[in-house]
Structure 1
């Protein structure tokens, strides 16, 4: 969209009026005005420029707030505040609205909507949604609740279609995927308000619909040699290394999801039966997998020589007190991929799920039936597993057409 330039003084007046309309706190408006006043003086003394432009805004921030200094961006609140004040001018000039900023202080709006959020959580849990889906919906609604708080709307029963329309406009600039999630979350929330009697209108029907077509992509994989190189890079003489090695084996040998590795409990390992029995976090379906010899010995070595003494029921815990359950596998994977010095093209996934893709790829190469791979990966049906057919190069080659034969038959 082409930037329509406005005189700086006029733009500041319009942005200030919009902030008042959006019920920004007076203290916030005053602090933005202080930055804008400094901006006006800068333009008069340095450039004599009368119109706002992104380039002019960047020059001001770099000259007056040293924004090129990365440490300032991380440490000084005043720098981040100045960037936001100039961003408001740029957004208003481009779109005639003030776009949303990230919601930092949850306590303010939680005090107004905490009770209704708790009831909404109960409603979602009754729909048998996975914990991940529930968290995505609730996280998406954070900015909406902050918007309501800024509008002094403290009761969900007073929300109108006009409020929804104005909020939707503030999301301009987000990706279609993000917008689709936001609108889906809003529709779910308003359907809840209507069905549970918290609003007398079904506002879910006025929430904009975003047409988002999921792009098909080729899953990222690792060869058998690359996987072994990653495992070999782990220092198993250190307690952290013993833990990380066991985690990597569960990811690479059994293809477990990250959430299932992190939520794996001591009781899930059936030593006498040589198997692992767990309830999958994503699907809530039970899954039984064989406890492979190398996986079992790695877990035993970690439990005996690496795991801190703790009452946590989960197998994998942090190595620093208070030894809580681990919450992330991504950094572990990234660490050992870097140590293994494996070079992959830009965009290649380096997270835990890439090892799940790799296991599926190797099983396909061995001509293991799709139904059996579905069982190993814990999918509810073969539809999810068919995504991996795109990486079965050996069998895809057999499907290739000879152009000459095609042309001959036309």
Structure 2
């Protein structure tokens, strides 16, 4: 049977059977079935529509869910419809469905922005670059329309400066997009005055930042805050120990596979996701016990070769951002004061480096343990070893009166 020649009942039954195979809970399957029956099924019945397809689902959403504010219940109904469309098209359902915001560049200025973006594409700029410019120009468009400016001829230097000053982050990206856009308009004689010239010498200070670190006691408090009674807690505890005891990045935790764990020699052997460098790390006793506890009593049945899975069906392997977000939330809720400090897995990596420095480990040893490509990268961690820096400080010698009286003391007069 062709996918789009399925009745809604046939499609619902097939989708529910798929959920059962993927180990969705009965309660969750029942909730989907309830939403289908009270939502899309009723909609199709009222209009005498027999066969379901994605267009029918979109019509239901646009008819029944309108307005700029969507309630959590409405969001669930939207999800239930997208699930049917996705299953009909692919025979499977992704764990999450990401709907990028439709950043429409409207009006006269928006049309010129679209022309500029097409120009970038003709120059073979990659999609990520073009999408980045689209986002920054969209933000600028919203800003100037809020000031009732609808043509490029009325945009002045002060409008650009006001917008740039309102941007908290990514100033360099915003300035770059504005320069390129107005430069394009000027070169193509759409405008005869380039207001972005005011940004030609725009400068923004980059503050030196110290890595965020936590003391050994704080790290222990973070680890012990994890409740390990259920599958999620067992998984999170094992992931946290990989960050705190071995300094693994979130990407390496997410991509950790069974083949990376050499139980016979009690080691990890992996190629780092970020650098590609091969590293061998010891399988510490605490880390090994946490992994065994998770694998035996927490990890769901899955064909995935990766160690860490989501604990909600479908039980797919975790993504980098999910690992980072999970560990960050654990630190934030642990009771440890994170004021002025980052609290993601990278902070745990920095904290491990701090422990190495406190134990007077050499830079090459620390570099090898953290998997840095060069010792120059590891050298940046010296900034957090305050005790050693204090010991390196030289005493300032006393200045005698004779110093100020030399040559009659004329140069130093009034400066003592």
- How does the TM-score come out when normalised to structure 1? 0.54
Structure 1 residue 227 corresponds to structure 2 residue 219: yes
Relative to structure 1, the CA distance from residue 107 to residue 303 in structure 2 (aligned partners, 3 Å threshold; closer, same or farther) is farther
State the partner residue of 1:382.
375
Alignment map for 1:6-405 (pairs within 5 Å): 105-106=101-102, 108=104, 138-139=131-132, 141-144=134-137, 168=160, 171-175=163-167, 177-184=169-176, 208=200, 210-272=202-264, 274-281=267-274, 284-293=275-284, 294-324=286-316, 325-326=318-319, 327-337=321-331, 340-344=334-338, 346-403=339-396, 405=397
CA distance in 2, matches of 1:117, 1:300: 55
Structure showing greater Rg: 2
CA distance in 1, matches of 2:264, 2:178: 49
CA distance in 2, matches of 1:339, 1:177: 26
Moved more, 361-370 or 181-190: 181-190
CA distance in 1, matches of 2:364, 2:153: 48
Query: In structure 1, the residue corresponding to 2:271 is in which secondary structure?
Result: strand
Deviation at 1:249, TM superposition (A): 0.8
Q: How many pairs are equivalent?
A: 286
Query: In structure 2, the residue corresponding to 1:106 is in which secondary structure?
Result: coil
Deviation at 1:123, TM superposition (A): 5.6
Deviation at 1:276, TM superposition (A): 2.8
CA distance in 2, matches of 1:224, 1:347: 18
Please tell me whether the aligned partners of residues 120 and 189 of structure 1 are also in contact (alpha carbons under 8 angstroms).
Answer: no
Query: In structure 1, the residue corresponding to 2:336 is in which secondary structure?
Result: coil
Query: In structure 1, the residue corresponding to 2:315 is in which secondary structure?
Result: coil
CA distance in 2, matches of 1:148, 1:218: 36
Deviation at 1:118, TM superposition (A): 11
- How does the TM-score come out when normalised to structure 2? 0.54
CA distance in 2, matches of 1:296, 1:121: 52
CA distance in 1, matches of 2:349, 2:123: 31
Please tell me whether the aligned partners of residues 176 and 210 of structure 1 are also in contact (alpha carbons under 8 angstroms).
Answer: no
CA distance in 2, matches of 1:377, 1:253: 11
- RMSD of aligned alpha carbons: 4.8
State the partner residue of 2:14.
none
* Residues 358-394 of structure 1: CA deviation (Å, up to 9, x unaligned): 0111111112122332232233333332332122122
Deviation at 1:332, TM superposition (A): 3.1
* Residues 87-114 of structure 1: CA deviation (Å, up to 9, x unaligned): xxxxxxxxxxxxxxxxx8426469x97x
Deviation at 1:189, TM superposition (A): 10
CA distance in 1, matches of 2:245, 2:315: 26
Relative to structure 1, the CA distance from residue 220 to residue 279 in structure 2 (aligned partners, 3 Å threshold; closer, same or farther) is closer
Deviation at 1:167, TM superposition (A): 9.2
* Residues 90-144 of structure 1: CA deviation (Å, up to 9, x unaligned): xxxxxxxxxxxxxx8426469x97x96996998659xxxxxxxx68x84464232
